């Protein structure tokens, strides 16, 4: 079974509007971390935001926030006030605890390509 699922292969958003990128995950480990990365056309991987499974509040970093719904096992990325420079691939990833069978691997979803329209 897929550990990380991103159901939106591609999305468009109008500049200055907000957009939500979906991510669901699957784990039986009570201790895990969730990450979002951005990959612009230049190819590098840029860390955006982190959410821990025990964190009480949703993570925020500037225009990025993570809508963490633990019971639904979802960790959607919200980008507010989209900018042209936000056009990129976005990857959701999960890291399970050191004692899990995953052995501390960081597993990625298939990605969502976001295109911001001027």
Partner 1 sequence: EAQVTQNPRYLITVTGKKLTVTCSQNMNHEYMSWYRQDPGLGLRQIYYSMNVEVTDKGDVPEGYKVSRKEKRNFPLILESPSPNQTSLYFCASSFTSITGELFFGEGSRLTVL
Residue closer to partner 1, measured from CB, 87 or 91: 91
Residue closer to partner 1, measured from CB, 13 or 59: 59
Ramachandran angles phi, psi of 85, nearest 5°: -70, -5
- Smallest distance, Å, CB 17 to partner 1? 26
- Smallest distance, Å, CB 10 to partner 1? 11
Q: Which two tokens stand for residue 92?
A: 């959701």
Instruction: Return the bridge partners of 86, or none.
Output: none
The DSSP string of 61-106 is ETTEEEEEETTTTEEEEEE-S--GGG-EEEEEEEEE-TTSTTTT-E
Instruction: Return the bridge partners of 4, or none.
Output: 25
CB 87 within 8 A of CB 64: no
Residue closer to partner 1, measured from CB, 78 or 102: 102
- Smallest distance, Å, CB 73 to partner 1? 16
Q: Which residues bind partner 1 (CB under 8 A)?
A: 6, 9, 31-33, 35, 37, 43-45, 47, 50, 52-53, 91, 93, 95-98, 103-111
* Dmax (CA) of the chain: 47
Residue closer to partner 1, measured from CB, 18 or 98: 98
- Smallest distance, Å, CB 16 to partner 1? 29
């Amino acid at each position: 079974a897929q550990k990380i699922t991103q159901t939106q292969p591609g999305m468009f958003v109008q500049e200055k509007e907000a957009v939500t990128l979906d991510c669901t995950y699957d784990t039986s480990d009570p201790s895990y971390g969730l990450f979002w990365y951005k990959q612009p056309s230049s190819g590098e991987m840029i860390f955006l935001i982190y959410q821990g499974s025990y964190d009480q509040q949703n993570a925020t970093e500037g225009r990025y926030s993570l809508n963490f719904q633990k019971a639904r096992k979802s960790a959607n990325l919200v980008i507010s006030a989209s900018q042209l420079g936000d056009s990129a691939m976005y990857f959701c990833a999960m890291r399970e605890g050191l004692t899990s069978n995953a052995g501390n691997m960081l597993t990625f979803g298939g990605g969502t390509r976001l295109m911001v329209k001027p």
